[in-house]
């Protein structure tokens, strides 16, 4: 089975001290989307269209697909609104229509899942990172029969932070661009969630909210793809939302309950 991943880690030792905001190189894909080569690379990464024939989709066709997804006028040209969308920080997984599961990938065949935190970012104290990740994964168990247990042994979902190339052939790209990625349910790397440690991870809007990105990635770990509903957690691009009293949007609830059913009273 071919696993699809989010592209929305070299392993670092846990550290309990916050660090200054990092200075890192911007993603090459963000340098100039008006350059057709950069735009083409972005489109092929996030809007790859399968074809039953040997037909190779043109840049215009890919642009129209992308513009339709983001509710833009499907001009097939690199207009200002299209370029602005391309520049937004986002998840690294390809985009698909509405809430959906990974094509050809099964859901977890059990409701009791384990997760293991391999390392943490030095942007936040270790205990804070662990509590944020626990709250992020809890948004999914709040509306389904799923139960998550943190462990230090072999786990269904491994979580870690890294920079650049980190062993899964999907290297991170520095500050901005893709923030994290996660694998669909299954064996091996499947289910694992990786976070780009070149980002400045925070618990508020001073940097990138670890809670929001982690909750999104765990949706992928459970089998959800991207939603084109702008208010959904599984929308591809990043936007800050407060962690306190966070409520999973209806679109995401429908998607996850389609896979695992409703939470039993």
HEC sequence for 106-152 = CCCCCCEEEEEECCCCCCCCHHHHHHHHHHHHHHHHCCCCCEEEECC
Instruction: Judge whether 44 lies within some domain.
Output: yes
Residue positions forming the annotated binding site for Ca(2+): 123, 156, 173-174, 192, 196-197, 199
Tens of pLDDT, residue by residue over 121-158, are 999 999 999 999 999 999 999 999 999 999 999 999 99
Same domain, yes or no: 131 and 189: yes
Instruction: Judge whether 100 lies within some domain.
Output: no
Closest CA to 89 of 172, 4, 191: 172
Q: Which residue has the higher pLDDT, 24 or 209?
A: 209
Which of 61, 130, 203, 217 is an active site residue?
A: 217
Q: Which residue has the higher pLDDT, 37 or 262?
A: 262
Residue positions forming the annotated binding site: 91, 123, 156, 166, 168, 173-174, 181, 192, 194, 196-197, 199, 216, 220, 226, 234
Instruction: Judge whether 7 lies within some domain.
Output: no
Report residue 179's pLDDT band, with 50, 70 and 90 as the boundaries: very high
Which of 26-30, 41-45, 170-174, 255-259 ranks highest by mean pLDDT?
Answer: 255-259
Same domain, yes or no: 116 and 72: no
Same domain, yes or no: 116 and 185: yes
DSSP letter (8 states) at residue 226: -
Tens of pLDDT, residue by residue over 111-121, are 999 999 999 99
Domain total in the chain? 2
Residue positions forming the annotated binding site for Zn(2+): 91, 166, 168, 181, 194, 216, 220, 226, 234
Same domain, yes or no: 46 and 150: no
For residue 111, give both structure tokens: 């409701």
What is the pLDDT at residue 200?
A: 97
What is the pLDDT at residue 65?
A: 84
Is residue 14 scored above 60 in pLDDT?
A: no
Write the DSSP string, 142-190.
TSSS-EEEE-SSS-SEEEEEE-S--SSS----SBSSB-EEEBPSSSTTT
CB 260 within 8 A of CB 113: no
Residue that finishes a domain, picked among 46, 72, 87: 87
Same domain, yes or no: 192 and 241: yes
- Rounded average pLDDT over 83-88: 86
Same domain, yes or no: 61 and 164: no
Q: Which CATH number is 65's domain given?
A: 1.10.101
Instruction: Judge whether 1 lies within some domain.
Output: no
Instruction: Judge whether 4 lies within some domain.
Output: no
Query: Distances in Å between the alpha carbon of 44 and those of 17, 73, 175?
Result: 39, 20, 21
What is the pLDDT at residue 49?
A: 63
Containing domain of residue 177, as a range?
112-260
Tens of pLDDT, residue by residue over 25-75, are 444 444 445 567 778 887 877 877 665 555 677 888 888 888 888 888 999
Same domain, yes or no: 207 and 82: no
Instruction: Judge whether 128 lies within some domain.
Output: yes
Is residue 223 scored above 70 in pLDDT?
A: yes
What is the pLDDT at residue 169?
A: 86
Tens of pLDDT, residue by residue over 159-168, are 999 999 999 9
What is the pLDDT at residue 51?
A: 54
**Pairing status of strand 157-162 against strand 193-196:** parallel
Same domain, yes or no: 122 and 78: no
User: Which residue bears the tokens 């991943």?
Assistant: 5
Query: Distances in Å between the alpha carbon of 242 and those of 37, 129, 152, 163, 245?
Result: 37, 16, 29, 26, 8
117 φ/ψ angles, rounded to the nearest 5 degrees: -95, 105
Report residue 104's pLDDT band, with 50, 70 and 90 as the boundaries: low
- Rounded average pLDDT over 206-219: 97
Helices first, then strands: H and E counts in the chain:
6, 7
Average pLDDT, the chain: 82
Query: How many Cβ atoms from other residues are within 10 Å of residue 254's Cβ?
Result: 15
Same domain, yes or no: 34 and 165: no
Query: Distances in Å between the alpha carbon of 70 and those of 80, 81, 84, 236?
Result: 13, 10, 11, 10
The whole-angstrom separation of Cα 75 and Cα 84 is: 15
Active site residue 217: yes
Same domain, yes or no: 143 and 234: yes
Instruction: Judge whether 14 lies within some domain.
Output: no
Same domain, yes or no: 117 and 244: yes
- Rounded average pLDDT over 172-194: 91
Q: Which CATH number is 202's domain given?
A: 3.40.390.10
What is the pLDDT at residue 170?
A: 87
Contacts of 105 (CB under 8 A, 6+ apart): 1, 3, 4, 184, 185, 186, 223
What is the pLDDT at residue 80?
A: 87
For residue 94, give both structure tokens: 């390809």
Same domain, yes or no: 138 and 204: yes
Instruction: Judge whether 12 lies within some domain.
Output: no
What is the pLDDT at residue 8?
A: 45
The whole-angstrom separation of Cα 241 and Cα 239 is: 7
């Amino acid at each position: 089975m071919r696993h699809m991943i989010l592209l929305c880690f070299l392993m670092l030792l846990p550290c309990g001290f916050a660090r200054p905001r990092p200075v890192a190189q911007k993603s090459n894909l963000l340098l100039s989307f008006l350059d057709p080569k950069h735009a083409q690379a972005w489109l092929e990464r996030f809007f790859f269209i399968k074809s039953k024939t040997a037909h190779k989709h043109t840049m215009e066709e890919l642009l129209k697909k992308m513009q339709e997804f983001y509710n833009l006028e499907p001009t097939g040209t690199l207009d200002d609104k299209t370029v602005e969308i391309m520049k937004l920080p986002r998840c690294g997984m390809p985009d698909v229509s509405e809430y959906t599961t990974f094509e050809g990938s099964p859901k977890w065949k059990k409701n009791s899942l384990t997760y293991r935190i391999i390392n943490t970012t030095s942007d936040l104290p270790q205990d804070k990172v662990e509590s944020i990740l626990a709250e992020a994964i809890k948004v999914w168990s709040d509306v389904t029969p799923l139960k998550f247990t943190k462990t230090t042994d072999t786990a269904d979902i491994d979580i870690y932070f890294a920079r650049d190339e980190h062993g899964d052939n999907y290297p991170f790209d520095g500050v901005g661009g893709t923030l994290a990625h996660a694998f669909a349910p299954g064996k091996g790397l499947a289910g694992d969630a990786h976070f780009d440690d070149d980002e400045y991870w925070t618990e508020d809007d001073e940097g990138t909210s670890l809670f929001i990105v982690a909750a999104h990635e765990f949706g992928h770990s459970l089998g959800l793809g991207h939603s084109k509903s702008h208010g959904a957690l599984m929308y591809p691009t990043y936007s800050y939302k407060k962690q306190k009293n966070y409520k999973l949007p209806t679109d995401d609830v429908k998607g996850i309950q389609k896979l695992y059913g409703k939470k039993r009273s």
